[in-house]
Structure 1
Amino acid sequence: MEHVSTRVVMRLITDATHSRDFGVECHYGPDDPYAVRLHFGAAAQDAVWVLSRELLLRGLRGPAGEGDVHIEPGADDSLFIALRGKDGIALLEAPSAPLARFLTATEELVPAGCEPSHLDWDSWLTALLSA
């Protein structure tokens, strides 16, 4: 099964004068058509955040998100992503262009609105009932 992935250098902003750049692997596959996985690797003890593809798309155009994830465009072709976890909030700044190209590739793989046709409902129901 085909998947889409890309590496994006993001900046973790720790305060007004300190930040740190690191690579984030963005992954998408039709086996989980609503989700984009961000793999932070060794920079964050191999943390993986699963975000809604739709949320990322909306965040490229304007402020989006409720709860633990907020996304909004910044100046100079950047995107801010705030992730709230048990240890606090991580504020990331990422370039918009590579994320937009990545999201376009995901839509070529699974067009928006066609996600349900890619779900394996039988396996999902079996897993739910066995839990």
Structure 2
Amino acid sequence: MANVSARVVMRLITDETHSREFGVECHYRPDDPYAVRLHFGAAAQDAVWVLSRELLLRGLRGPAGEGDVHIEPGTDGSVFVALRGTDGIALLEAPYGPLARFLAATEELVPAGCETLRLDWDSWLTELLSA
């Protein structure tokens, strides 16, 4: 089964007057149906954040997230993503449209609520027991 990938140009907001745009590669694999991977590439020393697909979907509609990741829609067709790491908080602004289209493509592969049907429980249990 195919994976879904999209490049989304996001803006890193450093303060009220400074920001920087860069491309973020968004990846989704049906064999890991709950997760979306954001690859920040050279812009962030090849950082990869793994986020809940459900959290991203909820964040398109309203404030969502606890802990290290918070997502909420902006008032101007954007989505804000706050990522807390060891060096502080990165506030990103992404355009709503490309992010929504990426998430819609993930739902075409694995509809929300059907994720457990895609999990390989035997492999997962074997890996767990061998650890």
Name the residue aligned to 1:23: 23
Name the residue aligned to 2:62: 62
Query: Please, what TM-score do these two structures have when normalized by structure 2?
Result: 0.98
Name the residue aligned to 2:103: 103
Helix, strand or coil for the counterpart of 2:100? helix
Alpha-carbon distance, 1:10 to partner: 0.2
Pairing 1:12–2:12 present = yes
Describe how 1:31-110 pairs up with structure 2 within 5 A.
31-110=31-110
The one-letter code of the counterpart of 2:24 is V
The one-letter code of the counterpart of 1:90 is A
Runs of 4+ in 1 over 3 A off after TM superposition: none
Aligned-partner Cα distance in 1 for 2:22–2:120:
34
Name the residue aligned to 1:3: 3
CA RMSD of aligned residues (A): 0.6
Helix, strand or coil for the counterpart of 2:23? strand
Aligned-partner Cα distance in 2 for 1:23–1:105:
19
Alpha-carbon distance, 1:11 to partner: 0.3
Aligned-partner Cα distance in 2 for 1:48–1:121:
25
Alpha-carbon distance, 1:128 to partner: 1.2
The one-letter code of the counterpart of 1:91 is L
Helix, strand or coil for the counterpart of 1:108? helix
Helix, strand or coil for the counterpart of 2:76? coil
The one-letter code of the counterpart of 1:25 is E
- Alignment deviations for residues 68-104 of structure 1 (CA, whole Å, 9 cap, x no partner): 0000000210000000011110000000000001111
